[in-house]
């Protein structure tokens, strides 16, 4: 996808030249004499604990390393240089990683040679002491210009890298939505300023010092800026702040591959060509999630221009499901880097062993019987929904009975027991709806009759249902007010239409918290143990 970016006009060059004249004599030859720089930006985002491949052999740091090493060798042979960046959210999503505070993930990223990453909202899922430890493990900088503790920034705002005599500035930015996605204790005393305001201040300074200016962000890509209740994302940033050559993004967890300037290809499949977004002269890229892809952007910098030559998303052992249900690998199999694999192996083993450590106890069995969770309110359904409601602060929560896969035993409860109950690694979505919309949604839920996987288990809701119709519904003891706004926590499966629920994915009130459902339940059990069965008697229906 060849395209040209005319960036540095005389007006922007002048301050740079003046600065250079005042400073100590530059060691590099003057710009006019420099050969153009071939710079390949490699990028990932929303790794979410996926240091190890999944059971289908997809992604994982060891195969990612093989791909990155191959590209590094190819680029070096052609006389080019590489910068490896990440858009944040290394934390949270896989129990073996979560239980080790993402130590294998950060240490693995060091081996891969990451140059910098943006700070994501999930970097605050753990207490500040864990984040401090992670910053030590990562020898590369965690960048964020808009997070303040008092008048001081908590992180390095930017770093300027030298490649082949050229300077490349990388600025970090973090979504303001972090404040509503993490436990208040973990961000006490911190202030998240508007990313665009920080960028508006810093970008002109960075332009004066560097040949290319990149923002590594964790703000989300909302096509054409249609962001609903979310804080502004990369498109809004690019439109508000002129002077960024590239935004390496994360948070919305999409392959950012565009059909038109305002329409993303939501049906993107691995192996297809990918046209990144471009807004106000700024390229915007994002490599889906979990290390499924390594994004590769090949630039040429020279003569005051930053030009994108080619762009692609390189799939990491991804498989696509065929019509007959079988899964087929996209492209040639990528071998895992043996040294990294053996470095990560002990972490995987320790992580799995920790799944057997008790996380809490209960005075009786929480009923997850397959027939009953699909036909009547149960203690386990109430427990799961209550955990989701409390963790997100939503007004009410609903879990589909089909998402409850086992009972929770009496006595000691391990993380493995929790994973048997919720094995799908679903995430918790919070929908902000008007009372009228909520009533419509509950109307759909009420149709999920006994025996269906969609049968709703609830918390924070009292309702009467007959013949698949809602006769009466109260939230927090009050009748639903059609004009008020309510927050509803559900899992991502039902949120996108699973089990026959309405597909809410493009509703402006849709926010995926990224919280893993089993981790939310584990946290509730750990905090409330010993659990008393009587406290979870269903009271909703
Ligand atoms: Zn995020």
CA of 251 to the centre of ligand 1 (A): 4
Residue 275 vs residue 31, higher pLDDT: 275
Confirm whether 253 is a catalytic residue. Answer: yes
Confidence of residue 29 (pLDDT cuts 50, 70, 90): low
Q: Work out whether the CA dihedral 70, 213, 135, 94 comes out positive or negative.
A: negative
Planar angle of CA 517, 520, 524, nearest 5 degrees: 140
- Residue 25 reports pLDDT greater than 60: no
- Asked whether residue 539 carries a pLDDT value surpassing 90, the answer given is no
Which sign does the torsion angle of CA 319, 313, 177, 103 carry? positive
Q: What CA–CA distance (Å, rounded) separates 397 from 428?
A: 10
Give me the pLDDT at residue 389, please: 97
405 given a catalytic annotation: yes
B/e letters for 74-88, b = 16+ CB within 10 Å, e = fewer, are: ebeeeebbbbbbbbb
- What average pLDDT does range 338-349 have in this prediction? 98
CB atoms within 10 A of CB 326: 9
What pLDDT, on a 0 to 100 scale, did the predictor assign at position 386?
97
- Give yes or no for residue 238 having a pLDDT over 70: yes
Percent of the chain past pLDDT 70, that is, above it, reads 94
Active-site option among 253, 317, 348, 512 = 253
Residue 88 and residue 45 in contact, taking contact as beta carbons nearer than 8 Å = yes
For residue 125, indicate whether it is catalytic: yes
In this prediction, what percent of the chain has a pLDDT beyond 90?
Answer: 84
Measured CA to CA, the distance from residue 141 to residue 160 in angstroms comes to 11
Q: Is the pLDDT of residue 20 over 90?
A: no
CA of 175 to the centre of ligand 1 (A): 8
- Quote the ligand 1 centre to 536 CA distance (angstroms): 32
In the predicted structure, residue 479 carries a pLDDT above the cut 90: yes
Q: Which of 90-104, 337-351, 361-375 has the highest mean pLDDT?
A: 337-351
Choosing from 221, 251, 288, 341, the catalytic residue is: 251
Mean pLDDT within 221-245: 96
Q: Given 98, 125, 177, 337, which residue is catalytic?
A: 125
Find the mean pLDDT for residues 184-212: 97
| Residue 14 pLDDT grade (very low, low, confident, very high; cuts 50, 70, 90) | very low
239: how many CB neighbours lie within 10 A of its CB? Answer: 15
List the single range of 144-158, 207-221, 235-249, 462-476 with lowest mean pLDDT. Answer: 462-476
CA of residue 185 to ligand 1 center, whole Å? 18
Closest CA to 445 of 430, 436, 435, 457: 457
CA distance 413 to 431: 31
DSSP-assigned letter for residue 193? -
For residue 514, report the distance from its CA to the centre of ligand 1, in Å. 7
- pTM, 2 dp: 0.86
Whether the CB-CB separation of 269 and 276 falls below 8 Å is answered with: no
Does the pLDDT value for residue 81 go beyond 80? yes
Distances from the Cα of 502 to the Cα of 171, 487, 499, angstroms:
39, 16, 9
Q: Per-residue pLDDT averaged across 26-45, rounded?
A: 80
Query: Mean per-residue pLDDT for 97-102?
Result: 95
What is the distance between the alpha carbons of residues 506 and 71, in angstroms, rounded to a whole number?
36
What three-state secondary structure class fits 168? Answer: strand
Averaged over 78-93, what is the pLDDT? 96
**Averaged pLDDT for residues 275-301:** 98
Centre of ligand 1 to C-alpha 90, Å, is 9
Say whether 511 sits in a helix, a strand or coil. Answer: strand
91 C-alpha to ligand 1 centroid (Å): 10
The whole-number pLDDT of residue 31 equals 52
Give me the catalytic one of 7, 43, 47, 48. 48
Q: What is the mean pLDDT of the chain?
A: 92
**Model confidence band, residue 9 (pLDDT cutoffs 50, 70, 90):** very low
- Give residue 515 CA to ligand 1 midpoint distance, Å: 10
* 3-class SS of residue 235: helix
- The pLDDT-based confidence of 18 (bands split at 50, 70, 90) is very low
pLDDT tens digit sequence for 49-76: 999 999 999 999 999 999 999 999 999 9
Q: What is the sign, positive or negative, of the torsion defined by CA atoms of 393, 396, 401, 402?
A: negative
Taking the centre of ligand 1 as the mean of its atom positions, its distance from the CA of residue 117, in whole angstroms, is: 13
**What mean pLDDT comes out for the span 427-451?**
94
Run of H or E residues at 80: none
For the question of residue 251 being annotated catalytic, the response is yes
Catalytic-labelled residue, pool 45, 121, 146, 400: 121
State the distance from the centre of ligand 1 to the C-alpha of 224, rounded, in angstroms. 19
Task: State the pLDDT at residue 170.
Answer: 99
| Confidence band for 17, pLDDT divided at 50, 70 and 90 | very low
Whether 89 is catalytic = yes
What's the CA gap between 192 and 195, in Å, rounded? 8
pLDDT band at 2 (very low <50, low <70, confident <90, very high): very low
Catalytic residue among 50, 122, 288, 296: 122
Check 354, 370, 484, 541 and give the catalytic one. 370
Decide if pLDDT at 27 tops 60: no
Q: Is the peptide bond before 379 cis (omega within 30 degrees of 0)?
A: no
Residue 33: pLDDT over 80: no
Selecting among 7, 64, 207, 374, the annotated active-site residue is 374
Distances (CA, A) of 331 to 75, 173, 292, 314: 21, 34, 13, 10
Q: What is the pLDDT of residues 393-405, one digit of tens each?
A: 999 999 999 999 9
The DSSP 8-state label assigned to residue 500 in this structure reads: G
């Amino acid at each position: 996808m060849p395209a040209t970016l005319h960036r540095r006009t005389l007006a922007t060059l002048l301050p740079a030249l003046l600065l250079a004249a005042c400073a100590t004599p530059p060691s590099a030859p003057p710009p006019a004499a420099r050969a153009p720089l071939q710079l390949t930006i490699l990028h990932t985002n929303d790794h979410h604990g996926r240091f190890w491949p999944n059971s289908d052999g997809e992604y994982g740091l060891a195969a990612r390393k093989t791909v990155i090493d191959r590209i590094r060798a190819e680029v070096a042979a052609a006389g080019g240089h590489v910068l490896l960046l990440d858009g944040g959210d290394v934390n949270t999503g896989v129990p073996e990683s979560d239980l080790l505070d993402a130590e294998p993930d950060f240490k693995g990223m060091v081996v891969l040679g990451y140059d910098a990453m943006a700070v994501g909202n999930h970097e605050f899922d753990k207490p500040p002491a864990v984040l401090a430890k992670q910053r030590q493990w990562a020898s590369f900088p965690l960048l964020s210009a808009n997070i303040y503790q008092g008048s001081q920034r908590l992180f390095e705002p930017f770093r300027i890298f030298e490649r082949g005599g050229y300077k490349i500035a990388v600025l970090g930015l973090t979504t303001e939505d972090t404040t509503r996605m993490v436990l208040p204790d973990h961000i006490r005393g911190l202030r998240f300023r508007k990313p665009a305001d920080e960028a508006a201040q810093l970008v002109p300074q960075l332009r004066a010092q560097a040949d290319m200016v990149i923002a590594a962000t964790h703000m989300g890509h909302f096509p054409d800026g249609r962001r609903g209740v979310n804080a502004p994302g990369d498109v809004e940033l690019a439109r508000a702040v002129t002077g960024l050559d590239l935004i390496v993004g994360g948070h919305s967890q999409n392959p950012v591959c565009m059909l038109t300037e305002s329409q993303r290809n939501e049906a993107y499949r691995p192996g297809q060509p990918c046209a990144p977004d471009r807004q106000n002269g700024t390229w915007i890229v994002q490599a889906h999630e979990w290390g499924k892809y390594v994004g590769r952007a090949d630039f040429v910098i020279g003569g005051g221009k930053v030009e994108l030559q080619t762009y692609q998303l390189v799939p990491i052992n991804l498989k696509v499901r065929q019509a007959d249900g079988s899964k087929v690998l996209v492209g040639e199999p990528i071998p895992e880097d043996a040294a990294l694999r053996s470095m990560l192996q002990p972490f995987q083993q320790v992580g799995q062993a920790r799944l057997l450590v008790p996380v809490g106890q209960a005075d009786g069995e929480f009923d997850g019987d397959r027939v009953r969770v699909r036909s009547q309110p149960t203690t386990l359904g109430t427990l799961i929904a209550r955990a989701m409601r409390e963790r997100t602060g939503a007004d009410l929560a609903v879990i589909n009975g089909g998402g409850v896969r086992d009972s929770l035993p009496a006595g000691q409860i391990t993380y493995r027991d929790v994973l048997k109950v919720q094995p799908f690694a679903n995430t918790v979505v919070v929908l902000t709806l008007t009372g009228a919309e909520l009533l419509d949604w509950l109307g759909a839920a009420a149709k999920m009759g006994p025996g269906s996987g969609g049968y709703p288990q609830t918390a924070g809701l009292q309702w009467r249902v007959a013949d698949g119709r809602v006769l009466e519904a109260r939230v927090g003891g009050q009748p639903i007010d059609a004009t008020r706004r309510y927050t509803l926590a559900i899992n991502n499966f039902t949120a996108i239409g699973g089990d026959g629920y309405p597909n809410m994915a493009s509703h402006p009130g849709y926010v995926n918290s990224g919280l893993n459902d089993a981790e939310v339940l584990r946290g509730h059990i750990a905090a409330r143990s010993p659990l008393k069965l009587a406290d979870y008697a269903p009271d909703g229906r």
